[in-house]
Structure 1
């Protein structure tokens, strides 16, 4: 049986609720908010009162407090879940306008976590971020949501220009006052410093400064041993290639390409270099890979699609790329039937496992091998891949040789 104090409190809450709702309907939100503030003090477990408290708050931060209190009582509350992203966004904008960047950044980060499709929250988040690289990332999210967003495009162009580093030789660290556009060789040490043309290393430039190259190789080797940074391994690989130590140089470049802080352009360049060396090694003999075998790569990451395509194209395959199951299905319907599918597991919409099941159930594709290429590791994921009919399961970051060996083996086995 409730105590006299509890009964009085309950009666008071009922009276206050009646007054608060009457004020809200009359448009007196200020009085209504004060009354709901009293109600939540007397009855902090009242979910509906907290929602009304949030709805009548003039201060966006107070609205966030009310919605979060309601969710604390009922994490599945549909009205609270719907109100939270809006409340967080409004609180973030208000804090930004008040020049409270730190508080604004937190509210807006929570807003984008609650609703990743809110382009306005990403835009404001970019505006209050002190890190230009992160601001660029947030603006790119805006553009992904809305490709026509002019303000995001302008901001991206400005930040990219701001972040563009001055040209520096990756081997001898020379920094000329005027950066050579797309320099293939360093004006000081004369080394080939890009992987755009692998054949350039077959005939090193004249007047190479061997002393500068050796000094650079020693410095980069020490830096790599001390920090493990991909940039040091990449520079060391270039130095060794220019000095004529091709195998050692390629190994250093492959290490740089597999590192977590690797540049995607390096990975593509290393793939071209490895494919070029393999072709040169076997030149005149029967090619290991029959030319133009079609392979379909399905991955929602443009970087991964480019990297895999570069490795396979360099080895003589014909690559058709799709950003998801829907686009892949359209390509198949249009007659692009590959000899092998390479699928990412974690894709929006129909994931890799689901799309593999679709392929296994289709008469045209049921016998075509499937390789999963994904960052998901573990026995259960591999077993799941086998259950849905995959022939192989490779993890990211992948080794170029292992990918090529797997593709060669499966396309050879599936040849008509």
Structure 2
């Protein structure tokens, strides 16, 4: 096809587009740009007829590469970037969405919609709040921006301080007892788990120990000795760990809880080890012996008072069982359901639960629909509902709130985080101490 023919094809394409025949116009424009790839007008029309926002953006970039002074393309780029960023956010491609939406905000800083969408895909609550506040300054009457600002302020208040592993220095916004990076047990209260921990990363442990030992040369303190002791326990070197703990005790002799845990560990060290067994269910044929329990005053019978009931609804048997076991250990009675229909049956058969932990995505009816159904029941309308979601966007949280959820929790989550939420909204009642005449 000659260049003159390409111009004719372009004219036909424009006529088809103006006449409403967009499919034919797109085919003709592809022919025109393949024949004359330097025709910025053909690329401009291709961009205007694209159904995919990302493709439209690429065609506009081609126009500006061919003709940087094309004002029409520069203006179209503003909406094209925003549309492509929104499409990426809706598709779950948060990284691409952040890049495009940041470019959109830089190119058009007065667009409050762009700032709101950027807030929705930003990882940091503090950064998200700053974007929402910019949107609110641009449009003070935006109810969405007002709601977003309130949401992120509350999230910042509830956010735990940044945690780091004292052995390998891995960072997280969630506090762990077992480091997800070096897999070390970090609390002497869990010494039994540390001694039988064969999953720890020995290389990372030794690197952390070298750093801690260097710290001892300049500033010997309780914390350094403590975590050197924990590192030794995770390496199954109990005697050396106890030596470090004893040095730590000298620096903090009034720490009664630590002294008690150390006494238990020393007692275990002095207890003769059981002979190795060939039980295939134990690691290397060695069955770990539990740490002897410290004598404590007898606790009241757990069933002396009916436990509060939490209905756990999730289509994953693993997640259901994890949540149920965790809540049972903390004094609740957990009942399980694998979908919305089973949840309804459970409620009808077992009475009204005191709280519901509910997955947003279920096979029959989704969690939002089930949440609304529960709220319509007069007897259940006030019970707290925790919505579990695999998405952490602002708009996903708003959807859960609008559906009637008390609070939303993003998967994956630490069991301790869920326990704190359940204890806050559905506290276990404790009996008052008995009095004597």
TM range (shorter): 0.3 to 0.5
Normalised TM-score (structure 2): 0.35
